[in-house]
Amino acid sequence: MKKIYITTPIYYINAAPHIGHAYTTIAADVLARFYRSQNREIHFLTGTDEHGLKIEEAARALGMEPQNYADQISEKFRELWKHLDIRYDDFIRTTEERHVRCVEDVFSRLLKSGDVYKGFYEGYYCLSCETYWTEKEILPNEKNLKLCPNSECKKPLERVKEESYFFKLSKYQQALIEHYQKNPGFLSPAHRASEIVNFVKSGLQDISVSRAKVKWGIPVPGDSAQTVYVWFDALLNYVSAVLESKTSNPSGEFWPADAHIVGKEIYRFHAVIWPAMLLALGFPLPKKVFAHGWWTVEGQKMSKSKGNFVDPYEATREFGVDSFRYFLLREMPFGQDGDFSIEALRRRYNSDLANDLGNLISRVVEMTDRFLGGKLPTQSDPEKHEYPRRWAEKTPAIQSAMENLNFSEALSIIWSVISSLNQYVNEQAPWKLQKTSPEKVEPVLFNLVWSIRIVMGWLEPFMPQTAAKVQAQLGIRQLPRPVTAEEVLAGKPTASHAILKAPPLFPRKTKP
């Protein structure tokens, strides 16, 4: 059976990983864990993009060989993913043999078919971005100065005339437009999709896919004067990681990818060039290419000059990994831009985690201890589950939010249930019931434990450590599979289980 195949971009190793990289990878991890929790087979790929001039220069600046440098920085990404509880199935590096061979083979194939051809490039080149620019693309006010149009760069451009290999992107304009029209879910979110459609409709030019000036790259087969352009190389990771053995074709066990998750700044590469490359190769196109938005930090763009990159280790030190994962996916809807600050994280932590979730769990544990001698409630209507059923019925809405990568929507449904449960505790007031009608206490606690079990089944992909702790505290053997209302209600409480008293999950944090 085909696995659900989810990818992140492969990250450049010219800098240490920061909150932006963490964001995409956490989102992909949450999606992968969600499908896994439904017992679906998943293949989650991430990795590092290791060729190109920037990486060669970064290595040189440290007096290192590019490969040694790449080994070191790539490892930093894997360490961070471990710290953030990212459960990937495979990690690809573009300097690996399996990848290099696939790129060489694909390049040769396209040369043979005529979709890659040798020509001359005449125009402007930005050495720093490794990008060719046409006269048309240079901003009017920068025309005389000939500055790089990339707002992050703005360095002087070089006028060049040189040999290069080109990919016939223009040939695929019509096919791409047809694909976008026939497959409305392919590009999302919608506002990004329309940008892409307009861009493609305005006309596509063939693109250069080799560089004579870059040494640290995969040599063009049969022409050692050129290396393969880093983006042509990098995009192929999605295929080179899932090859059918001894070929450079993707295996049907994984391909086509179900979701490529990328940041908005690299959407054109993924929504235009990548599908055109796949069309040229005759491989099926991915099901979905999703562009998420960007984080600023306290209102500012993160940049080297400002030195304001948020270090994920720093951000998790005070609040923990789960709170950070929760914050990133709750605070800004996936697809839009948002702002990160430690203060915003603290606010969400105190209100959503300490007040709502943490409080609910500690109240239920405490009441079970006090009123039932620490034994978990079993007496209610375990067959009918009338009270928890109303929450279980929210499963399809959560499923649909997750399928659309609408993580903040899924979390907001989950939190509406958590608030209702806190309200139920207040209304039922077991501490009063204990005095007036003690026989009602156990069914109330039963309803709460069973509802929390449902909530934790939904929340586990977002907050795996918290789900495990709550499971231990409430003696929940197994979290439900969040597929249908019936499935999340399935199972019976066991009488022998006892609660486990533990320190609060999210102690309130005041400003230092």
Q: Report which DSSP code applies to 273.
A: I
Distance in Å, CB of 80 to ligand MSP, minimum: 13
- 129 near 119, Cβ under 8 Å? no
Kindly indicate which of the ranges 17-25, 77-85, 368-376, 430-438 contains the residues binding ligand MSP, using the contact rule CB under 6 A.
17-25
- Site membership for ligand MSP, residue 23 (CB under 6 A): yes
- Of 329, 317, 311, 363, nearest to 463 (Cα)? 329
Q: Looking at residues 114 to 133 of the shown chain, list those that interact with ligand MSP (rule: CB under 6 A).
A: none
Judged by beta carbon, residue 20 or residue 457, the one nearer ligand MSP is: 20
- Label residue 340 exposed, middle or buried (CB < 10 Å: 0-12, 13-18, 19+): buried
How many Cα atoms occupy the beta-carbon half-sphere of 370 within 13 Å? 15
Nearer to ligand MSP, 211 or 385 (CB): 211
Quote the least distance from Cβ 47 to ligand MSP, whole Å.
9
Span near ligand MSP by CB under 6 A; candidates 184-192, 259-267, 345-353, 476-484: 259-267
* Sites for ligand MSP among residues 296-355 (CB under 6 A): 302
Candidate residues 3, 5, 6, 10; the one interacting with ligand MSP per rule CB under 6 A? 10
> What are the DSSP calls for 4-19, one per residue?
EEEEEEEEESSS---H
- SS3 letters across 301-364: CCCCCCCCCCCHHHHHHHHCHHHHHHHHHHHCCECECEEECHHHHHHHHHHHHHHHHHHHHHHH
Q: Does 16 bind ligand MSP (CB under 6 A)?
A: no
Query: What's the min distance (Å) between Cβ of 21 and ligand MSP?
Result: 5
The Cα diameter of the chain in Å comes to 90
For ligand MSP, the closer CB: 21 or 385: 21
The smaller minimum CB distance to ligand MSP, of residues 176 and 459, is found at 176
> Is residue 294 a contact residue for ligand MSP (CB under 6 A)?
yes
How is residue 252 written in tokens?
């049907």
Tell me which of 92, 110, 262, 479 binds ligand MSP, using CB under 6 A: 262
* Position with the least CB separation from ligand MSP: 20
Which residues from 32-71 bind ligand MSP, rule CB under 6 A?
49
CB of 76 to ligand MSP, least distance (A): 12
Q: Do residues 171 and 114 make contact, with C-beta atoms less than 8 angstroms apart?
A: no
Looking at the Cβ atoms of 233 and 460, the one nearer to ligand MSP is 233
Rounded alpha-carbon distances, angstroms, from residue 51 to 166, 223, 265? 19, 18, 19
Helix, coil or strand: residue 271: helix
* Contacting range for ligand MSP; rule: CB under 6 A; set: 6-14, 358-366, 423-431, 462-470: 6-14
Query: Site residues for ligand MSP, window 419-448 (CB under 6 A)?
Result: none
- The residue count of the chain comes to 512
Size, binding site for ligand MSP by CB under 6 A: 18
Nearest CA to 511 among 318, 315, 300?
318
Q: Which residue has the tokens 């923990």?
A: 320
Residues 24, 31: Cα–Cα separation, whole Å: 11
Cα(509)–Cα(219) distance, rounded to whole angstroms?
A: 54
Alpha carbon distance 117, 111 (integer Å): 6
Compute the distance between CA of residue 123 and CA of residue 342 in angstroms, rounded to an integer: 45
- Of 271 and 441, nearer to ligand MSP (C-beta) is 271
The mark string for 213-242 relative to ligand MSP (x by CB under 6 A, - otherwise) is ---------------------xx-x-----
Q: Which of 16, 212, 266, 500 binds ligand MSP (CB under 6 A)?
A: 266
Q: Does residue 11 interact with ligand MSP by CB under 6 A?
A: yes
- Smallest distance, ligand MSP to C-beta of residue 86, A: 14
Kindly report the number of other CB atoms within 10 A of residue 290's CB atom.
Answer: 26
Please select the residue that binds ligand MSP; options are 3, 4, 5, 20, rule is CB under 6 A: 20
User: Whole-angstrom Cα distance, residue 147 to residue 508?
Assistant: 50
| 348 within 8 A of 331, measured Cβ to Cβ | yes
Identity of the residue, 9 or 457, whose beta carbon is nearer to ligand MSP in the bound complex? 9
Task: Report, in Å, the least distance between residue 23 CB and ligand MSP.
Answer: 5
Q: Which stretch binds ligand MSP (CB under 6 A): 122-130, 157-165, 167-175, 294-302?
A: 294-302
Q: Which stretch binds ligand MSP (CB under 6 A): 7-15, 99-107, 180-188, 416-424?
A: 7-15
Positions that interact with ligand MSP (CB under 6 A): 9-12, 20-21, 23-24, 49, 234-235, 237, 262-263, 266, 294-295, 302
